[in-house]
Structures are given as structure tokens and as C-alpha cells.
Homo-oligomer: A and B are copies of this chain.
């Protein structure tokens, strides 16, 4: 079958093949014929052979962990509700089921997690084998272009749902693919004001163009797009702080940049929260104003990883079923055969979300 391998332990060491072996589903496993896949930041780290990823990935291996497809074959003893032909996606975090976290409804925090597409073969292939327990049914009318990246959309939904959105003032730091999804999610969920901050002019442009596309009922003055490098009242966060209650109710931190985390704290009202999804390039972060911002101003921080298993999936599908528009975050579509070019674009930050299809769109 066709597939994309991380073939060699080096930057850019990927390889398109037509001769990968179709996996065989085992006990409580399911084989899925892949229709569309999404490219994730983690895939870029693999492509770039970042030090952070080297301990986890063992080349040569098929990678990729965002996709949708149809069930092609059921292994033994699979969940009775799955049938060949079902349109599905899959939570690719495989958890142990025995630890404290798994036994208390916090499986997404299982310390024994293995990720398909990172620790085990993934979905950049015509067929992928996954645990039956992790398969998610999709509605028939969901475009495969969207089904391709539900894993990433789930990150955005998980982050947004970690705080209260309706009628609250929200800021998003970082308008990359997941930041863009988060913006769409909080807009759809009735955020009061939304402030989107980035340093990259291209990102700011994309945010402006999304804002213009919104249905007329959303008042334009309730969305501000600002540069994190600006200082004047109109184009910086300053006006947001003035016009909200001394700061926003919650920041969704999507960049991983130390400056964004520190600025985000300053933009948050006393008693507000900063929800953290963005991954820094290094290990640590210096919180410059810990005493003032965290203690004296009573602010909460919480880190988000993955998707709640499976609460996030239910709510994400409900939002899509209600009409959440999200296709605009896909700015590149490609076939597996053209993966090198797609990865190159993505690696250089020239595109938001990339969707790849086994045989072209």
C-alpha cells in the first residue's frame, strides 16, 4: 500500500512508498482504510528530526496520527458497535486502562500512553490498524477534509472547554493551525470579546480574513486582532485590557512562546485563567511576574494535553453538527506522493493546516 515513512533518523528523512505492507488487525483491533489525513506539529518535529522526538520515534516507521476513513476489517472481539464500512476517526492515544488516571476518567493523562504515529505505526498510509476502543463514529455528512484533522481540532476544543466561553472575554495567543481552530470554536460558542494576538504578519492577516468571513450577527468590534510586538493602544492588547475588566477572563495560549505566556498573564484580569496548550521549544519557562500575576492577582494556569477521552470528541462532533465552520484552517491539500513539498511548506510556517490524501484530493 501507499504510505509515508520516517525513513531515516535525520532532518527531512521522510519517504513516500507504494510498497508498505497492509497491517493485520489483531485482538480488539480494527483496520481502517484512510481517506484523509492531517499534518500535525508533532509530524513536523518528526520531519525535522527534533531532539525532543528522537527517543520516541524509531525509523523506519509510518507516522501520522490525524485521519478519517472507513472500517475495512475487524479483528477479534471488537466493540460490538463497529461495522465494516463505518465512517470513523480514531483517538490515537492508547492508554493502559489500569492506572489511577485511566480508572478515574482522566485517561488522556495516563502515564503509560503510547501514541499511534509516534511510538507505533500511524495513519500516513492507505490502511492503519488501531485499537477498537479508540474508534469514533463520524456523521456521514462530515467532509473528509475536516475529518482529517479532528485530533487537532480536539486539542482546540479541549483547551476552550477547559474554561467557560459564553459571554466571557477570551484572548488567544498564537494564530497557528490550532490557534485558528480555537478562534473559530470560541466564536461559535458565544465568547463575548475575542482578542487574537500573534507576532507574525501572515498570521494576523489570516486572522483578519477569518474575521471578515463570519456571519453578520457577530459584531466586528467584538473581535480584535493585535500584534504582540505593538505598543500603541489600537493595535496592541492594551485596548483589550482597558475595555474588559482590567484584562480578559481567559487566555488560550497556543504559541508556546515565553513572551506570549508572560504577556498572556498580564492581559488576564484578576482571578482569570490562562489555559496552556502551546509547547515551548525548550524545557522551561521563566514566569517574569510570578509574584504579581499569579499570587497577588490570583490567576490560574492549567496545562492541556490531548483530548479528553472521550468527552472532547462528543462535544467536538456536536459543535460540527451544529454548524461550526472550520475548513478555512486548511490552506494546503496534497497527495501522499507529494508529501515532501507539503512538509517543506509546513516546516517553514508558510501554511496553516495541511491535509494529505492517499491518492490526491
Contact = CB atoms under 8 A, between A and B. Distances in A.
Given A168-B318, A222-B322, 17 more contacts: A100-B314, A109-B270, A111-B270, A165-B166, A166-B319, A169-B318, A192-B315, A280-B290, A283-B288, A284-B289, A285-B287, A287-B287, A294-B301, A298-B304, A299-B302, A299-B303, A300-B302
Contact of A315 (B168, B286, B322, B324): B168
Report, as a range, how many residues of chain A touch the other chain: 35 or more
B322 A193 contact: yes
A319 B167 contact: yes
A190 B190 contact: yes
A306 B166 CA distance: 19
Interface in A302-320: 302-305, 308-311, 314-316, 318-319
A142 to B, nearest CB: 11
B108 A105 contact: no
Interface stretch (A1-9, A57-65, A117-125, A271-279): A271-279
A87 to B, nearest CB: 17
A269 interface: yes
A6 to B, nearest CB: 21
A78 to B, nearest CB: 11
A282 interface: yes
Contact of A189 (B166, B284, B324, B325): B166
